[in-house]
Every structure is written in C-alpha cells, then in structure tokens.
Chain A
Amino acid sequence: MIALPSIAFGGFSGSAKGVTARQVGGRSILSLKCFPTGAATGAQLARRASLKKISKSWKELSSSQMTGWDRLAEHASGLSSLGQTAEISGLNLYIRLNVNRTMAGESILSDAPEQLSVLPDVVYDKIWVTPKTVVIKGITHEDGYKLVIKMSAGQSAGVSNAWSKTVILSPGMEDDWGDANMTMLYFKTIGVKPAVGEKIFIEMYWLEPASGFTGQSVYATKVCESEEDAAAEGYVKRNQITMADLKEESHVSECDVDFSTNAPVISFDAVCLGHSNVASSEAYLEDELPSDCVGTSMALARGMGTGNAGLAAQSYIIWLRNSSWDGSSITFAHRGGYYVKPTEVFGPGILY
C-alpha cells in the first residue's frame, strides 16, 4: 500500500489496471490488487464465502441496526479491542465481528453488541514443537472465551518474519485444562509434520464468541526440536491418548483418554464405531501405554444413533494393554444396556 501527498492525486479515486486510488482521512491511498499465493486451503475458502455472505447481509439490516453498528464503531476506533488500533466503519466492524463469530460456529449478529469487550492476552508457559508433537502448555484458562491459533509451516531457521504465512489451525477452541494440543490440527491443516531445525511462526488470541471481539495477538516462534532434546529440556508428554496417538485402523472416530487425573479414574471421551459384528471397538496405539496405566476400566456410555435404542445408556469395560504380540491397544467392550453404534463412552472410568 502506498500513501502519497494529496497534491498529486487529490480528489482522484477509482480503479484502473489493478491499481486503486481512494481518499482516507484527507490522504490519497494507492493500492495494488493483491493475488493470493498458492492454492487456498479449505478453511480459507470457507472464510471467503462467509465474508461474502456477511457483507451481503449488511444490506438487510434496518437503519437503526446500522446506526447501532456505526455508534459502536466510533467507540471502537482507536481502541485495541479488535487487536489493532485504527479507525473503523460500522460496516467493517459488523463484518469483522461476524467473521469472528461465524469462525467460532456462531450465527451472524444483526444488532451491534451493547459495549466493547476488552479481552485478556493469551498467557502460556511454553510451546513445544517436535516432529510428533505441537503443543502449547500452561495456558491460563479464560472462561467464556475461545482460543484462535495460527501457525505457519516450517520455515528455514534463518527466516525472521513469516507471519503472513500463518494459517488458522483452531478457529476457536477451548484450552484443554491448560494445554492446546495442536498436533492433529497442525498435521491436518499444514499437511506436513515439522522437521527438526525448522522454525514455526505462531500467533494466538482470545475470541469472545458472544460478541465476536478478539484480544490482542500474541506472537511467538519456535524451532522444531527432536523428541530427545525436548525431553532433555523438560518436556513431559501429558498422559493422554488422542486421535493423534492412534493407528488408522482403529475403530473410534474421536478419542480422548486422559490418564492425568491423579485420582482413581481415567477420564474418557471416545466415539466407538464398532467393528466386525462384535460389540467392541479397538483403538490401536502408536506407542506403548505407561505401565501404571495398564489395566481394566469401566465407564458409562450413551448411544449416538437415531434408530432403536439410539440414545441408550450403556456400560463399557475397557481393557488397556501393551502386548508383545499385537502392540498396545485400548479395547472398548460393551457390557450393560442395549448395544448401539456409534456410541460415546464418556466420563470417569474406575481403574483397577
């Protein structure tokens, strides 16, 4: 973007051959049309579609609703509640907050929020990046807010600025008891695992889904290190099995088996799909279970189907084992209630 004295281009506005001139705050600004580099990701396409839809919906607002947005925009200008200080119009505020809301899974807000929200910064202890793990630890939980995390693909360690290459990995997640385990989202969104020595650029901020306001961005970089180096530096893997820890042939579509309770239970949240006409589902693990987590558990479940007994309560016995014969696995085996698939096994499971 090029800002020029108004003498040369005063009063001039319009576009020609990819150059646009406009008047902002008494200045003429020339800008070149930008073209995206590389193919758009699914998330980018969805965001662009959403942007178009939100822009169009502005015209459907009543004049009092538009006035409400203009008034809020006057207050928002110069404040940092949108992550940057700048003047903003009612239309732009409407678009920006609603893009944020739709990103977090909320509907479009027609009435302007009654007041501005000032969100806290993201506070965390440490970011760990290895070829197998991308996790932010020690996040201070903020009730009612969602975390937006953007990351870049691995860059050469000498690159000092690749913030423009970050893409949204989490459009609005809650921290998981102080952790944001981005491993699966990173692999899925970026497409490749980070390699040792590559630098990852990270941007994160809180989003208030109710209003669409966001906090200030917190920026960080992290060079990918080996598992061994991370361990030597103090990284302790949380004792938790997620989809990132499972082999593809597993029969669960969601998996969060959390051993980090320091209580007589394991915390389960797994969606069992069943297999081979037996009333059980196997989760095959890439790595061994810690020896003190090997055993048997029993947890409650509820069907997720729509047919007969689709919402039936059930009990599941869960075998957690390391086998020299066929590797490590977690078997969810149906016991009480009517067996239905899929079924969500959730809550505390006693361990014995």
Chain B
Amino acid sequence: MFNSTGNNFGAGTIQFKDYQASNYVVLNAKFSYDPTNAAYQAADVLEIYVPDLSIDRSAVAGVILTFQDRYVYSSYTWNNDGGTAIKSWIKDKNTICLEKFTNFDDKGEITIFIQALYAQKNQPGNPIKGTRTRINMTQETRYLYWSSDTFCVIFEHWVFLHMQFSSCSYSYRNQPWEANMEDFPTDVNADVPFLGGSNQYNPSVNGYSLAHVENGVFTCPERMSGFESTGYDPFIFAFLVRDGEEGNGDTE
C-alpha cells in the first residue's frame, strides 16, 4: 500500500494497493476528481505522482472511468450511471498517466477505478501462463445466472477476475444481490465497476453499476436502469491485489 505524492488534476491524495514485481506491477485504486477543477482543465494527460515504482515505464493498460447520471421522478429514480475504459500507463518510476477522456465532464464528479496490470515489452521472455479457475457462483436461493466466462486466474499475490452476468430471476431484479464466489480467493477486498446495460441518456457507453467483492462474497446493492437490456452484457474485468500479499516481489 502506498499514497500518491501529488497529481496534476486536483484529486487529492490517492491510496494504492500494489504488487510490484521486477518487470510488472499490479495497482488498485479508486478515486474521484472534479472536471471543473482548473488543474484538471489545464492538463493534457492526467498524471499521478507516486513514490518509486519497480518499473520505469509500461505498456498501455486499461482502467475504468465512471460517472453518475440520475433523474429523480416522483415515484422512482432513473439511473443512467455510465462508464467506459480509458488508457493508462506508467511514464516513469514516479508517474502514472491516464488518458484525459472529456466526453463526460459535464456529468460532475468522475470516478476512476485502477485495477490494472502494467507490463513492459521487449523483455527477455514470453508470457507466463496462468491457470483458469471457473468461479462457481452459489446462492441459498439461486436467482443470479452467470456466463461460463466467469472465471479467475489466481497468482500468489494477485488475481485476475472476469465476471459476466447472464440473467436474474424476475422477482429479485430490484433487490440487493449477493452470491458466494466458490473457488475465488477470500483475501480480495475491492469495489469493482460492473459495466453493461443500455444507457438511455448516455448512449455512447454502457451503464455502470458498483459491485463489491470481499471474503469470497459478491454483492451489488443496486443496478443502473438498463442493466438487463439484451446485448449489453454486464461484465467485470479487474486485476486485483490480494490482501496481505502486497509490496515488492519477484516475477511469479
């Protein structure tokens, strides 16, 4: 775990969970910024300044940008929260860069989820293969259904997670969701962006809902309004640091 030493877009201190190998790093952080901030508006690329990383440069990785967009009516709230992927890379040992993606600056506060692995290229060796572990999502009363592409790849210090929603029993569609993630490490604790669903007021992107993974349990208290639209398959894509296993280490 470490804190940022500064940034060029007025976001305050950002706390990172990290696993740092000699030739790649896995970073997790969730933070927000105000697009009306003068520092943000002056920046071409968003830069987060950090203490020395184990690598001095990385290839591009993907992180998730999200925003809230809700319309409150007398009897219900029309939730058009949205999000998409933006590019991020390590510029030098002390600077993490984010693509400045201005399409949703008019929505107010923007929240970024960094759950990324930053790799280097032209290294002396091919990729190291992991093992795919199917996550068996269980519930006392089963109401959530998941695609067969719901799986993880577990490493000693971090885990890759991909989940893809299929359907929900009708009577549970507006309830808070909870399910056990069998065979998923219990030492992962993270908010994760759940991207998908038709976004009526922001049709250029998917919807965004917030989910949480902790102690092998998946929760998602509420979903955006178009969550179950056909063809907008909600998914989670994250490289997550395992608790107690952070810090520096060698390539696994």
Contact = CB atoms under 8 A, between A and B. Distances in A.
Contacts of B59: 177, 258, 261, 267, 347-348
Given A260-B122, A315-B162, A346-B62, A337 B233 contact: yes
Interface string B197-231: 01000011110000000000000000000000001
Nearest to A336: B235
Given A312-B204, A336-B233, A263 B116 contact: no
Interface in A261-279: 261-267, 269
A337 B132 contact: no
B125 interface: yes
Given A176-B122, A264-B155, A347 B62 contact: yes
B84 interface: yes
Interface string A227-249: 00000000000111000000000
Nearest to A317: B149
B58 to A, nearest CB: 9
Given A258-B59, A311-B84, A337 B206 contact: yes
Interface residues of B, number: 57
Contacts of A348: 59, 61, 116-119, 239
B128 A263 contact: yes
Interface of A: 141, 143, 176-179, 238-240, 258-267, 269, 290, 292-293, 295-296, 298-302, 308-315, 317, 335-339, 346-348, 350-352
B170 to A, nearest CB: 22
Given A264-B130, A336-B196, A352-B130, A238 B237 contact: no
Given A263-B21, A352-B132, A313 B205 contact: yes
Contacts of A263: 21, 23-24, 117, 119-120, 123, 127-128, 251
B211 to A, nearest CB: 13
Contacts of B204: 308-312
B103 interface: yes
B195 A337 contact: yes
Contacts of B79: none
B85 A177 contact: no
Given A308-B203, A312-B204, A290 B116 contact: no
Contacts of B117: 263-265, 348
21 contacts: A258-B122, A260-B121, A261-B121, A262-B120, A263-B21, A264-B128, A267-B59, A293-B127, A298-B160, A298-B162, A300-B62, A300-B85, A309-B206, A310-B204, A312-B205, A313-B83, A335-B164, A337-B235, A339-B231, A346-B87, A351-B128
Nearest to A138: B122
A332 to B, nearest CB: 14
A202 to B, nearest CB: 21
A347 B121 contact: no
Query: Of A261, A298, A313, which is in contact with the most chain B CB atoms at under 10 Å from its CB?
Result: A313
Interface string B79-118: 0000111110000100000000001000000000000111
A10 B184 CA distance: 90
Contacts, number: 185
B60 interface: yes
Contacts of B83: 313
Contacts of A176: 121-122
B76 to A, nearest CB: 24
A262 B125 contact: yes
B84 A296 contact: no
B59 to A, nearest CB: 4
B164 A262 contact: no
A25 B66 CA distance: 65
A3 B172 CA distance: 91
Contacts of B62: 299-300, 302, 346-347
Interface string B118-162: 111111111111111000000000000001010001010000101
A349 B59 CA distance: 12
Given A262-B251, A264-B129, A313-B195, A352 B153 contact: yes
B126 A239 contact: yes
B12 to A, nearest CB: 26
A57 to B, nearest CB: 25
B252 interface: yes
Contacts of B252: 264
B123 A301 contact: no
Nearest to A292: B126
B49 interface: no
B64 interface: yes
A288 B17 CA distance: 39
A267 B123 CA distance: 12
Contacts of A352: 129-132, 153
